[in-house]
Structure 1
Amino acid sequence: MLDAKFNDPRGEARLFTRRVILSGLVAILCLAAVVARLVYLQVFNSEHYRTLSEDNRVRVEPLPPMRGLIYDRNNVLLADNVPSYSLQIIPGKVDDIAQTIDALSRLININDVDRQRFERLRRQHRRFDGVPIRLDLSDTERARFAVHSHRFPGVQIHAELLRYYPFGVDTSHVLGYVGRINEREMERIDPSAYAGTSHIGKIGIEKAYEDALHGKVGFQQVEINARGRVLRTLEEQLPTSGEDLVLFLDIDLQQDIMRAMAGKRGAVVAIDPNSGGVLAMVSTPGFDANLFVDGISVKDYVALRDSIDKPLYNRAVRGQYPPASTIKPFIGLGGLASGAISFRDGKYCGGYFQLPGHSHRYRCWKRSGHGTLTVTDAVVQSCDVFFYRLAHDMGIERLDRFLADFGFGAKTGIDFADELGGLLPTPEWKERVRGRPWYPGETLIVGIGQGAFLVTPLQLAAATAAMANHGTYFQPRMVQAVRDPSTGLVHTTEAVSHRIAVDGEAKWQGIVDAMALVVEGSRGTARRIRNRLIRIAGKTGTAQVFTIGQTERYNEAQVAERMRDHALFIAFAPIEAPQIAVAVIVENGRHGGSTAAPIARQVIDSYLLKRRVEPPPPPGADADGD
């Protein structure tokens, strides 16, 4: 019975047949799936995979453009591009990066700073981008690596053009510098526009004109083998070089000012009154911009950042100082323009001024007083009481409106990065910012350029230029022309100007004559810089760093050096046909007439007489006011 049950040839045949059929169906289905996949890949999606296949042997490489050059007004090169060689690692082609760096360090000096920079840059790049592990290789280091390069797949020497500033410290604040693109900048730029480029303008002209200087990236399609070696170039589109800039700047004048300001903290701005072109812009102390191009060391950066003298701070466009008595010619002109005074009117100075019904005394720098003065006398002798009275008569609203026409209280709009606008205080400003009402005494303080009233050296120079040409205010400009290096086509920048409303040429001329007497008059506060060859008009200023009490006297010998008054001077020359306007501010320089005015005289001599500037002698005490 058991044998009959398990011995069933027919059943076994049927079972075998079913299994064969099932296996055949499964095989047919699998084959159909393979065929369908092949049809999908080779017929319907062939273009996509052909492209991927091409990418395995064809690579698109960006061709970075050459950055535009920067020249001074006489075509002296101020910003150049020089070749530099770096050692780069392509992370996607290196199995053990740490081991590779250790092996490289036995051939080439690689320190901790290099390693830290590599890790930081590595996070910003794709796996198959080259990341520098050592910058600025010497010829010996390049030769040593070339001998052993076969041991380091994924490591290469990369040649590029880096920015170089031939005049270093002398142009650091005006040109600015380029540096490696950081993460924050990567978020705002177009990555395709900076493919193959690692640098961008950080400050100054380099930042303001980044779009013009950068140029346009090119590309090339190259055929590579399995090891990534380039076999041939299939297609190429050359990059477009950045445009060159020609500045109004005179590098000889710039260097002369740097010598005149040696050892001082402050700023000097010189402007052409006929165009608004900036002839020189100096902030001291400065720094070597070349340190930043390929990454400044931590030690060097900390030394600059933490220096008490603030060498990284551009005082010319960001320094905000009380204008002090340099504002008095403008206040005097405002009084004439508004009808508050005439040239014949006199105001009495008895050494102090009191507002009606108030006991507080607003003192003059001359404790015994000046007696009765006209506006001309008051400018020449820099009488504080005269301008207290005039400011009180005009009122803060008229004062603010008139001074705003000269550019005070707002940015000048110069084609330069990171400018600040100073502060022209108003009742509305005080209520908004400090939550307190405006007091009549504050109007008096504005009248002598103190208190909350702040200007930048650039603003002061631009206003002085407007005074020089009797009321045409030119917006300051750094760039004179933009030049296409490939075509030679030159685009000249356009001047932007407005007229300052003052009725009558005599009012302008009268204030200019008063400023001339500041230098040429026997009682002028800047008479020590009188020039027999060139007639100079100017105005001194001495800005308080801290407030002195009613009953106190300022004793310079007992005041710490960094708490002493700032020295200011504005000037233009020649008076008959002005070609240069200058603003000088020397921090803690004590007196405008003895410290700042001689520097302005040297600036004018350098530009108009082409005399070499030597550092001025130590200042003496100023006998008469500012």
Structure 2
Amino acid sequence: MTELRNTERELRLFRMRLLFAGILIFFCFLALITRFAWLQIIKHDQYAAQSDENRILTVPVVPNRGLIMDRNGAVLAQNYSAYTLEITPSKIAEDMDTLLDKLGMLVDIQPKNRKQFVKLLEESKNFESVPIRTRLTDEEIARFTAQRFRFPGVEIQARVFRRYPLGETASHVLGYIGRISQKDAENIADSDDGANYKGTSYIGKEGLEKSYEKLLHGTTGFEKVETTASGRAMRLLSRNAPTSGTNLVLSVDIELQKIVEEAFGDRRGALVAIEPETGDVLAFVSKPTYDPNLFVEGIEQQSWNELNTSQDRPLLNRPLTGAYPPGSTYKPFMALAGLELGKRTPAMSIYDAGFFNLGNHRFNDDKVGGHGTVDLYKSIVVSCNTYYFILANDLGVDAIHDFMQPFGFGQKTGIDLENERSGLLPSTDWKRRSSKNVAQQKWNAGDTISLGNGQGYNTFTPLQMAHAVATLVNNGVVMKPHLVKMLEDPQTHARTPTVNKESGRIPLKPENIETIKQAMVGVAREGTSRGVFANAEYVSGGKTGTAQVFTLKKNEKYNAGRLAERLHDHAWYTAFAPADHPRIAIAVIVENAGKGAEAAAPIVRKALDYYLLGKRPTPLDKTAPPPAAPKVEDGDGEEE
């Protein structure tokens, strides 16, 4: 029997299915429209920005580093452009050694380049480009460009490099730049200038390059470049130009600097010359020197070992961090203290029998039999130790400390270089704080005696000595010593002085200053350095000095011939000129050279001859000994 179909029922079921399908389709389209509206309307700005970020690449534009010039415009640190072959590790698929071997067939890659590359790889992030060769030749550029398609992840980049055209000259002043290390990067990230160092590979490491890093660096610019999906640049959309770093105009006269460095020859030591009225540092010499160009791209291990292990310590900035006993160059300041504190008058004399007794201890003058009757003038001219043994005892250590401190002894001068050493100006309070041993905290009366002739606990830097002499001859007006005289805008070339005001005044009586100056003039005219300054066309003042390195046993006589060279006394000389209106004050020390008049004063003579008269040393001057003079013993053990 055939079953009859219920047409009406099937039709109703079909309509219900069609309704459900329509409702489902409606809600699906509603969800799509809602999502579309969410993406295109509500989230439009966010995704448009992401799209632009994928399409537009923001590239930092590193500014040109500021130039460094001497006071006369000679360029001491400059920039130049060159091409560099660089590798981005994250884009390299093959073995790095294999890649370098292939590149070596097109570009000269030495083993030292590979070593440096490996070192930089360790310090860099995987997505950062690392140089394998700098300063490519035109031929090398052409060869690589022709084969560029074979080396994905390897690019030629135009870079700006730093160069020090005078090599070793003034290296301790300029310092150097170097590639940013991991530690440098962390410090930059923690600073407020992090964004300004995007794309920067170099930073100041030493000297003025480090002290003035923020000014020399400039302001980083940015370019917005439209790129393809593969990252290839299509067109430049906008550019925010970088601002070049500020130029530094130094107070240093580089010709004077050269003459002094040559005058030292192979000897070790330091010289600082200052213009008293302004605090301008005219010369800042540390010998031996080094070539700062070695450090720019990363110094080779062999060169670093030679510099770092040398007994001569060429990396040591002696004027800034070398602390030495001042020897007899301290005596003019001791004499001034005696005058100002009422312990001495110019006419007051002592009788020097060749020694001074304090209790059961005898302090011997360097001249056997002594100098006889000695007043203040003669005490400086012949450098009589006994006079200053007695004066130190009369003054006392704390009075000496309090008088000397305003001159800058035992404290940082504030010069515009980092890591300046303070030296030591002793006092009873210092000794009490310097030792945990109660017995060693007490200041002994005998400790004071040695201070009088610049020995004992006294240790000062050559910079402090020059600064003190400059302050003395500037009638007690303190000018902060500085190496950068002007800051120059790289665009307008407008210049702004760095220091143009006095730092303070020491209340000194003019007649006392004049007494000391005249006694120092006597040193150059008739005293321990008269042979060196014979026939000079100007009048200068000076003071020789000898600083002990080796402590003698009781009653032992110093004999340089029996000691190793590095145990010989240091030779000092301080000076100013012209005497009536000083334009330059100098302090120089020659390590282990013995007599100040023989080793240090001739260097000062060459410096003054050039600075005051424009005279340059002749080849004969560079090898000839100083002029002879009648022999006279002084308290430094020198014979002239």
The alignment's TM-score, normalised by the length of structure 2, stands at 0.90
CA 30–371 in structure 1, closer or farther in 2 if over 3 Å, else same: farther
Question: Bigger CA drift: 134-143 or 294-303?
Answer: 134-143
CA deviation profile, 1:527-574 (whole Å, cap 9, x unmatched): 432343111100000000011112211111111111100000000111
2:315 and 2:134 map into 1 onto residues whose CA distance is: 24
1:553 and 1:20 map into 2 onto residues whose CA distance is: 123
Of 459, 478, 483 in structure 2, the residue corresponding to residue 478 of structure 1 is 483
> SS state of the match for residue 337, structure 2?
helix
Answer whether contact 2:529 2:601 (CA < 8 A) is retained.
no
Question: Bigger CA drift: 312-321 or 132-141?
Answer: 132-141
Aligned-residue CA RMSD (Å):
2.7
1:128-167 matches, cutoff 5 A:
128-167=127-166
Alignment partner, residue 5 of structure 1: none
Q: Which amino acid aligns with 1:182?
A: S
What is the CA distance between 1:79 and its match in structure 2?
1.1
Alignment partner, residue 79 of structure 2: 81
CA 95–45 in structure 1, closer or farther in 2 if over 3 Å, else same: farther
1:118 and 1:524 map into 2 onto residues whose CA distance is: 57
1:545 and 1:27 map into 2 onto residues whose CA distance is: 100
Alignment partner, residue 5 of structure 2: none
Of 426, 434, 442 in structure 1, the residue corresponding to residue 447 of structure 2 is 442
> SS state of the match for residue 510, structure 1?
helix
Q: Which amino acid aligns with 2:503?
A: S
Of 241, 261, 264 in structure 2, the residue corresponding to residue 261 of structure 1 is 264
Alignment partner, residue 89 of structure 2: 91
1:302-313 matches, cutoff 5 A:
302-313=305-316
Answer whether contact 1:203 1:418 (CA < 8 A) is retained.
no
What is the CA distance between 1:155 and its match in structure 2?
1.2
What is the CA distance between 1:600 and its match in structure 2?
0.7
Answer whether contact 1:216 1:241 (CA < 8 A) is retained.
yes
CA 405–133 in structure 1, closer or farther in 2 if over 3 Å, else same: same
> SS state of the match for residue 424, structure 1?
coil
What is the CA distance between 1:28 and its match in structure 2?
9.2
1:435-584 matches, cutoff 5 A:
435=436, 436-493=441-498, 494-503=500-509, 505-521=510-526, 523-584=527-588
1:43 and 1:93 map into 2 onto residues whose CA distance is: 37
Q: Which amino acid aligns with 2:456?
A: G
> SS state of the match for residue 583, structure 1?
strand
Q: Which amino acid aligns with 1:559?
A: L
Alignment partner, residue 352 of structure 1: 355
Of 201, 222, 226 in structure 1, the residue corresponding to residue 225 of structure 2 is 222
CA deviation profile, 1:237-260 (whole Å, cap 9, x unmatched): 100011111111111101101110
Q: Which amino acid aligns with 1:376?
A: Y
What is the CA distance between 1:93 and its match in structure 2?
2.8
1:277-316 matches, cutoff 5 A:
277-316=280-319
What is the CA distance between 1:29 and its match in structure 2?
8.7
> SS state of the match for residue 361, structure 1?
strand
The reply on whether 1:615 has 2:616 as its aligned counterpart is no
1:408 and 1:57 map into 2 onto residues whose CA distance is: 63
CA deviation profile, 1:267-287 (whole Å, cap 9, x unmatched): 011111111100011101000
Q: Which amino acid aligns with 1:195?
A: K
Question: Bigger CA drift: 112-121 or 345-354?
Answer: 112-121
> SS state of the match for residue 243, structure 2?
coil
CA deviation profile, 1:459-490 (whole Å, cap 9, x unmatched): 11111112222222211011111110212221
What is the CA distance between 1:623 and its match in structure 2?
5.0
Alignment partner, residue 413 of structure 1: 414
The reply on whether 1:367 has 2:376 as its aligned counterpart is no
1:288 and 1:137 map into 2 onto residues whose CA distance is: 22
Q: Which amino acid aligns with 1:303?
A: E
Answer whether contact 1:599 1:616 (CA < 8 A) is retained.
no
CA deviation profile, 1:413-464 (whole Å, cap 9, x unmatched): 1122221111111112122122321111111111111122111111111111
Alignment partner, residue 592 of structure 1: 596
Question: Bigger CA drift: 321-330 or 486-495?
Answer: 486-495
2:435 and 2:113 map into 1 onto residues whose CA distance is: 49
Question: Bigger CA drift: 139-148 or 437-446?
Answer: 139-148
The alignment's TM-score, normalised by the length of structure 1, stands at 0.92
Q: Which runs of 5+ in 1 are unaligned?
A: 1-17
> SS state of the match for residue 169, structure 2?
helix
CA deviation profile, 1:382-414 (whole Å, cap 9, x unmatched): 111110100110111110011111110100011
CA 319–135 in structure 1, closer or farther in 2 if over 3 Å, else same: same
Q: Which runs of 5+ in 2 are unaligned?
A: 1-15
2:448 and 2:516 map into 1 onto residues whose CA distance is: 22
Answer whether contact 1:381 1:525 (CA < 8 A) is retained.
no
CA 618–588 in structure 1, closer or farther in 2 if over 3 Å, else same: farther
Answer whether contact 1:220 1:235 (CA < 8 A) is retained.
yes
Q: Which amino acid aligns with 1:87?
A: L
CA 19–109 in structure 1, closer or farther in 2 if over 3 Å, else same: farther
1:97 and 1:208 map into 2 onto residues whose CA distance is: 42
1:290 and 1:20 map into 2 onto residues whose CA distance is: 85
1:37 and 1:131 map into 2 onto residues whose CA distance is: 45
Question: Bigger CA drift: 601-610 or 128-137?
Answer: 128-137
Q: Which amino acid aligns with 1:550?
A: K
What is the CA distance between 1:25 and its match in structure 2?
10
Answer whether contact 1:65 1:218 (CA < 8 A) is retained.
yes
% identity of equivalent residues = 43
Alignment partner, residue 399 of structure 2: 398
Answer whether contact 2:203 2:213 (CA < 8 A) is retained.
yes
2:81 and 2:206 map into 1 onto residues whose CA distance is: 23
CA deviation profile, 1:350-386 (whole Å, cap 9, x unmatched): 211121xx21111111122112211111111111111
Alignment partner, residue 9 of structure 2: none
2:613 and 2:361 map into 1 onto residues whose CA distance is: 49
